[in-house]
Amino acid sequence: MEAATAPEVAVGSKLKVKEVSPADAEPPQASPGQGAGSPTPQLLPPIEEHPKIWLPRALRQTYIRKVGDTVNLLIPFQGKPKPQAIWTHDGCALDTSRVSVRNGERDSILFIREAQRADSGRYQLRVQLGSLEATATIDILVIERPGPPQSIKLVDVWGFKATLEWTPPQDTGNTALLGYTVQKADTKSGLWFTVLEHYHRTSCIVSDLIIGNSYAFRVFAENQCGLSETAPITTDLAHIQKAATVYKIKGFAQRDFSEAPKFTQPLADCTTVTGYNTQLFCCVRASPRPKIIWLKNKMDIQGNPKYRALTHLGICSLEIRKPGPFDGGIYTCKAVNPLGEASVDCRVDVKVPN
């Protein structure tokens, strides 16, 4: 008799066919006491559908649950007539006090009411139908919060910084650590503030501490479930002392800004029309503030109501009110202070309109 060939199976499951020897293929022999009228042996029903396991995609990688969570896995399979489904845990039979199994016509359910870390491991489902079988494996990992770091030590304090060291926790919660969270608290407020998160080393430098405060530090371990429930606190406080400041006063040489008058913008010659006011402008620089004197044809015109002289921030102006033909000539602006004097001239022509 030829061995049955196995069809294609779903991903994550394996189909095995037990070999049949020629001796097993011979028809059963009747015993001497079995006469011709004795009933014939009962034969197994024919296999209409080979066993196959359809492993869900989410279970093709490690299935992670937290301690106390419910595990409820439904694994569909096929096979006709109904195959026998058998579960094992790490190669051993299931602990029926913790794990329950329900096998249906087309699926098998594995149920754990409250998962514990001991439930982690490799579970195998084997579906058998006569000499054919299919297998699928599921890796389950049950995790919980990690334990706290074993100790924390304040190594050094300098300036506005402090150096800390700690040792990893003994219990990581049955999974890899994601890092550490470092917190600080000053003795005045007693409030904890996070300074580092997801930190992977077991030593760090905490900076930006405030002068005059004293600080305590603590470190939490972290994994997929969260932070450890407790954290060790440094026994020594970090005192941020104010350094003595010595002020050195540098000698300051008083600069002498005194200078004789100097015109930075001279007067400009101009031509005006009879009856229209005219203004003359110039700029002077001097220290101390100079005295400004206006002259016309070398004659002092201070106090003459026909002229109005103004000086502001070194800008000197002279307004000639409604000039007449006799107001033309050479105008001079003279600046005088104790350090000297300076002057500028311009020509003003007054024309009579036609």
Q: Are 250 and 267 in contact (CB under 8 A)?
A: no
- Residue 292 CA to residue 302 CA, distance in Å, equals 10
- By DSSP bridging, strand 340-351 and strand 270-273 are parallel
Q: What is the pLDDT along the chain (354 residues), one digit of tens a residue?
A: 333 333 333 444 454 544 444 444 344 444 444 444 445 455 567 878 899 999 999 999 999 999 999 999 999 999 888 899 999 999 999 999 999 999 999 999 999 999 999 999 999 999 998 889 999 999 999 999 999 999 999 999 988 999 999 999 999 999 999 999 999 999 999 999 999 999 999 999 999 999 889 999 999 999 999 999 999 999 999 998 877 677 777 777 788 889 999 999 999 999 999 988 999 999 999 999 999 999 999 999 988 889 999 999 999 999 999 998 888 999 999 999 999 999 999 999 999 887
List for the chain the helix, strand, coil content (%; round to 5): 5, 50, 45
Position 67 scores a pLDDT of: 94
Buried b (16+ CB within 10 A) or exposed e, 209-245: beeebbbbbbbbbbbbbebbeebbebeebbebeeeee
Residue type, 55: L
- pTM of structure: 0.55
Q: How far apart are CA 280 and CA 346, in angstroms?
A: 9
Cβ atoms < 10 Å from Cβ of 170: 10
**What is residue 30's predicted lDDT score, i.e. its pLDDT?**
41
Distance (Å) of CA 75 to CA 45, 69, 85, 111, 249 = 25, 19, 10, 11, 85
For residue 9, the model assigns a pLDDT of: 38
- DSSP sequence for 288-322: SPPEEEEEETTEE-TT-TTEEEEEETTEEEEEE-S
Cis-peptide, bond into residue 288, ω within 30° of zero: yes
Contact 133, 94 (CB under 8 A): no
pLDDT in the model for residue 130:
83
How many Cα atoms sit within 13 Å of 208 on the Cβ side?
Answer: 5
Domains, the chain, ranges and CATH? 49-143 (2.60.40.10), 150-240 (2.60.40.10), 259-351 (2.60.40.10)
Helices and strands in the chain, H and E counts:
1, 27
